[in-house]
Amino acid sequence: MLELYGTKLESRLLLGTARYPSPAVLTEAVRAARAEVVTVALRRESGGERRGEGFWSIIRGLNARVLPNTAGCHSVKEAVTTAHMAREVFATTWIKLEVIGEDDTLQPDPFGLAEAARLLCAEGFEVFPYTTEDLVVAERLLSAGCRVLMPWGSPIGSGRGLNNLFGLTALRAHFPAVPLIIDAGIGVPSHAARALELGFDAVLINTAIAQARDPVGMAAAFAQAVEAGRAARLAGPIEPRDLAEPSTPVIGTAFRG
């Protein structure tokens, strides 16, 4: 069971709610994924009052825990203000914190991220920071009060999977007791399975499901992949080897002289 800030969850698949072809498809995809947590970008989805009210109604109907995020924020002030708005709208102290520092890759700004995390944690927010796999940044975020980290696999929406296996593996090894959720860049179910096999606690998926030809079918596929990856991790995968090792015993078998 996954525990995030004291909340226990059965599912290790979190879903984003943007870019689905219709509200009905979004609803069915969340059900197919068996997701218990969905993220909502407050800035993007509240552009018009009537449109926003309709969207909130859909989200409430999903019967999932809402994790608001600060997507699109490029400064500490923007991110903190958006977090305050999200707390009022959703009556939750959970916030997925994004402070973007580079537009082409949407890479997080580590300095702004750490500062915003410090301010929000001090105000009682339970912060889920979207970060890179950098160990120093991770340490700063934990020191600021974060108890969960959300490192990227690769740039948002790229579908490239886990770009830096060395860095991600090091992050997992350095912080064995911290819940780590791969956020961004997952493109296919095998990427999600790999993340869980490496020991990450969960994955957050949006584009790979929402923009698939069949979002509902893809959501179900990701749910299966996450379960398989977690089961494999618990079962204890063999270590990679440089040389072959026979899988069939040779003792007692005939041999040529």
Own/partner contacts of 26-32, CB < 8 Å, gap of 24 or more, are 26/58, 26/210, 26/215, 27/58, 27/61, 27/62, 28/215, 28/216, 28/219, 29/209, 29/210, 29/215, 29/216, 29/218, 29/219, 30/62, 30/64, 30/219, 32/216, 32/217, 32/219, 32/220, 32/223
Q: Which residue has the tokens 């996954």?
A: 2
Q: Alpha-carbon torsion 149, 101, 56, 59, what sign?
A: negative
Q: 89, 102, 151, 95: which is closest to 119 by C-alpha? A: 95
The answer to whether 182 and 169 are in contact (CB under 8 A) is no
Determine the 3-state secondary structure of 244 from DSSP. Answer: coil
Catalytic site positions: 96
